[in-house]
Structure 1
Amino acid sequence: MTVETGRLDATLLDVSIAHKITHWHECGGNGRCTTCRVRVLDGASHLSPPTRREAELAQARGWDPTIRLACQTSASGDVTLERIVLSEATASQLRTETVGREAGAERRLAILFCDMRDFTALADSNSAFDVVHILNRFFDALGDPILLNGGIISHYVGDQICGLFGLDDADPARICSGAIRAAFGMVEAIDRLNEDLARSFGIRIRIGIGVHFGNAIVGDVGHPTLRRFTVIGDDVNTASRIESMTKELGATILVSRAVAERLAEGSLSVTATKMTRLRGKRNDIELLAVDGFADPSPFTLAQRSVGRLLDHPSTFAAQFYANMFAMRPELEGLFVNGTGAQGAMLSHMLRSVVSGLETRKHVTIGLQTMGRKHVGYGVELDYYRTFRAAMLKTISDVMGAGLTREIEESWSVTLDVILGLMKEGAGAEFRRN
């Protein structure tokens, strides 16, 4: 699409947002992340020189000159560009840039393996076309929890998926927490997927998940013309062997003691523990079967239900705006160009922020920046009360009988945190003005 701006001080990100173009900016456009990057196709001479922050990021990550940070770049003439980050998967894969990929690097990672049980029987009882369809649905459902909890999908092998956590983080507690949340999210996702598979194919899929924390060597491996990002090492093998023990021990999720020790003592709900000797290992290892957090985060139920709420994002957004305008009709005047494009941005923001409240380093500053920018759009502080009420009403409308009191309370707390951070930013902007 073609857009115009009369502001020479506006960044490329500002222009996108002003024209309701969904443009990732996890840190709120403060140069703390790289999710707003663009590739310049034409008109590079019309762009401002890289800021110090952008130059440091470009050098550290090995960007070519056509890649720019939209939040750090303004234009003085016509420019043709494309957004690079369009999905959770792309945003997640950016974490591999922090690794010394050519020479390889050793990292402390949480490594998750998930495997579909009884795949051979499923393959024998369905056509090849259906098997591929089921596998793609399986990987789609189970990949999202990895991506939404700060991990990347390392690789697929047959009916197995591997996730890595910690490529751009050095906090073992946050790394292991993200991996555990992903495991619990996978169990939730497979339950939802099974509802559909039972109707369509008369089958239900069971899974086993193993999580371990340790050292791994990461980097690009393969023929010079076709190298792939790869993770190798003894602790990677250990994670895979832990997953293979789930069937033998009758558990869905097994984590090593190395993972549990990185979390606060007693934070996991442990159903069983076992000292065992993994295949090919010399020493016993303690494994813990877990089924949740002993003291769940107040955001947990909101995070689990956000995917179901946004199965049809345009419908959710339309219902939200209808509810908000019914509560406060004058707010419709803020949307002079309608709510279609704005609705897409709302759904994207809601899913990303709710899922990443505890695992993404830049969420707080991103929400505060969003609040500051909303002041420029005419948003008053008392509008946030209406937004909250309309959002809770929409959640009730969409979930219907599936909305329990506990889920509603989780969403109430989650919205209070999100809107509280946005109001902090808005309040600072009002004081500055």
Structure 2
Amino acid sequence: MDATLLDVSIAHKIIHWHECGGHGRCTTCRVRILDGASHLSEPTRREAELAKARGWNPTIRLACQTSASGDVTLERIVLSEATASQLRAETIGREAGSERQLAILVCDMRDFTALADSNSAFDVVHILNRFFEALGDPILLNGGIISHYAGDQICGLFGLDDTNPTRICSGAIRSAFGMVEAIEGLNEELARAFGIRLRIGIGVHFGNAILGEVGHPTLRRLTIIGDDVNTASRIESMTKELGATILISRAVAERMAAGSLSVAETKFARLRGRRNDVELLAVDGFTDPSPFTLAQRSVGRLLNAPSAFATQFYANLFAMRPELEKLFVNGTGAQGAMLSHMLRSVVSSLEKRKHVPIGLQTLGRKHVGYGVELDHYGTFKAAMLKTISDVIGPGPTGDIEESWSQTLDVILALMKEGAGTELRRN
């Protein structure tokens, strides 16, 4: 096959999602053809299967599976994590309703009434938007979707594209830990701007939920219904009463490996509407966290200002090896945006998505064409660690830096593997 539409985007340093590495295993690279459809290749078998399953009209094509023989006008469809969240929701199908086993996460801002009373309406809206942005990212980056907002509350669903209870519950718990990290970073910003600090409570439950698009025909939204949905909300409401930040149900804990969670306290409590006490566990971490954990928990804080992060990184990179600046003939603006996007997505996905290694190997092969050599990777790591220290610091014991070091080793090893394959082929 000739160069695909995705290849063209990458060659011109256009940010174009392709979570599976451009192998037709996801739909994040899809585009809408506005003009020039006659110049496109016929759909591959894989693309045709996806199009039929998702009910796409003929103007929607997979960029990684489509090449062009002439001028084509198109638009990317997936432009953000939020759009990717909508794609995950597609996996529920088009039926009127379906019952699924899901992990349901409910996060609520504490003392919102006092916050609203002491700030202007415009400031309250700004604070809420920053709150939902910061705390929504961990949901999206851990395989969940944002189900809905209700005032100062955000609800995440995990399991729309998975049937493994352990992976589903692990994603929800990782998201909860990521939210705690995110609120710490957001509070630094809000303290400077408004003199306030936010506190949250998070409840996580695993059970059955009915899903479907509900509402007036002109405005239907994905909705979840069921007793287990109410249970998740009521678990969250107990966090304040029990003095915990994260509470999970026994149903969640049972889906995790025995002893894998650090449990600060276990309590039996009577949830509203329940006749019997239920067991709730206050958790604050993993007992044996992977080497990626601190990197995953801090990636949101690191990339809170992507442009500033990229600027600092390239300044460090060029200070270490000035000759590398010549590789960026068009400047570092577009490349920096791609770097920030890639880093956020890959770091958060290392333990969850089987296609991540394929995508990193593909990225390594493509970087050979940009003039990147194998001995450049060591400098990249050194510059990245310097930037991480500049932006968020090494932490009290250097644990964050060590986690990032091991995370970067895995990422760069896979990219070098792909680069080595490409060099041998040439």
Deviation at 1:379, TM superposition (A): 2.7
Tell me how far apart the structure 1 counterparts of residues 381 and 229 of structure 2 sit (CA, whole Å): 44
Dislocated runs of 4+, deviation >6 Å? none
Corresponding residue to 1:281 among 268, 274, 278: 274
Deviation at 1:14, TM superposition (A): 0.3
Q: Which residue of 1 aligns with 2:112?
A: 119
Structure 2 residue 242 is the aligned partner of structure 1 residue 254: no
Gaps of 5+ in 2: none
Deviation at 1:105, TM superposition (A): 1.7
Q: Deviations over 1:345-385 (max 9, x none)?
A: 11111111112222334222211111122233333322222
Shift in CA distance, 231/374, structure 1 to aligned 2, threshold 3 Å:
same
Q: Kindly report the root-mean-square deviation, in angstroms, between the aligned alpha carbons of the 2 structures.
A: 1.9
Tell me how far apart the structure 2 counterparts of residues 400 and 99 of structure 1 sit (CA, whole Å): 42
Tell me how far apart the structure 1 counterparts of residues 201 and 325 of structure 2 sit (CA, whole Å): 49
- Contact 1:101/1:229, CA 8 A, preserved across alignment: no
Tell me how far apart the structure 2 counterparts of residues 225 and 319 of structure 1 sit (CA, whole Å): 46
Structure 2 residue 370 is the aligned partner of structure 1 residue 377: yes
Is the partner of 1:103 in helix, strand or coil?
Answer: coil
- Contact 1:22/1:345, CA 8 A, preserved across alignment: yes
Q: Deviations over 1:317-347 (max 9, x none)?
A: 2332333334334433433333222122111
Structure 2 residue 148 is the aligned partner of structure 1 residue 155: yes
Tell me how far apart the structure 2 counterparts of residues 220 and 165 of structure 1 sit (CA, whole Å): 17
Is the partner of 1:129 in helix, strand or coil?
Answer: helix
Higher deviation after alignment, 45-54 or 284-293: 284-293
Tell me how far apart the structure 1 counterparts of residues 91 and 144 of structure 2 sit (CA, whole Å): 13
Is the partner of 1:288 in helix, strand or coil?
Answer: strand
Q: Which residue of 2 aligns with 1:5?
A: none
Identity, % of aligned pairs? 86
Higher deviation after alignment, 176-185 or 124-133: 124-133
Deviation at 1:422, TM superposition (A): 1.2
1:203 is matched by which residue type in structure 2? I
Deviation at 1:400, TM superposition (A): 4.8
- Contact 2:177/2:297, CA 8 A, preserved across alignment: no
Tell me how far apart the structure 1 counterparts of residues 193 and 376 of structure 2 sit (CA, whole Å): 45
Alignment of 1:12-411 (within 5 A): 12-400=5-393, 405-411=398-404
1:51 is matched by which residue type in structure 2? T
Deviation at 1:283, TM superposition (A): 4.1
Is the partner of 1:241 in helix, strand or coil?
Answer: helix
Deviation at 1:261, TM superposition (A): 1.4
Higher deviation after alignment, 67-76 or 304-313: 304-313
Shift in CA distance, 55/403, structure 1 to aligned 2, threshold 3 Å:
farther
Normalised to the residue count of structure 1, the TM-score between the two structures is 0.93
Is the partner of 1:291 in helix, strand or coil?
Answer: strand
- Contact 2:317/2:379, CA 8 A, preserved across alignment: yes
Is the partner of 1:238 in helix, strand or coil?
Answer: helix
Q: Which residue of 2 aligns with 1:415?
A: 408
Deviation at 1:403, TM superposition (A): 7.8
Count of residues in Structure 1 that have an aligned counterpart in Structure 2: 426
Q: Deviations over 1:139-162 (max 9, x none)?
A: 122111111111110001111110
1:210 is matched by which residue type in structure 2? G
Deviation at 1:401, TM superposition (A): 6.9
Tell me how far apart the structure 1 counterparts of residues 340 and 117 of structure 2 sit (CA, whole Å): 40
Higher deviation after alignment, 175-184 or 324-333: 324-333
Q: Deviations over 1:20-42 (max 9, x none)?
A: 10111111111111111111111
Tell me how far apart the structure 2 counterparts of residues 120 and 321 of structure 1 sit (CA, whole Å): 43
Is the partner of 1:390 in helix, strand or coil?
Answer: helix
- Contact 1:27/1:365, CA 8 A, preserved across alignment: yes
2:420 is matched by which residue type in structure 1? G
- Contact 1:274/1:288, CA 8 A, preserved across alignment: yes
1:134 is matched by which residue type in structure 2? I
Gaps of 5+ in 1: 1-7
Shift in CA distance, 340/201, structure 1 to aligned 2, threshold 3 Å:
closer
2:184 is matched by which residue type in structure 1? D
Normalised to the residue count of structure 2, the TM-score between the two structures is 0.95
Tell me how far apart the structure 1 counterparts of residues 389 and 179 of structure 2 sit (CA, whole Å): 24
Deviation at 1:428, TM superposition (A): 2.8
Shift in CA distance, 250/322, structure 1 to aligned 2, threshold 3 Å:
closer
Shift in CA distance, 101/277, structure 1 to aligned 2, threshold 3 Å:
farther
Shift in CA distance, 108/361, structure 1 to aligned 2, threshold 3 Å:
farther
Is the partner of 1:289 in helix, strand or coil?
Answer: strand
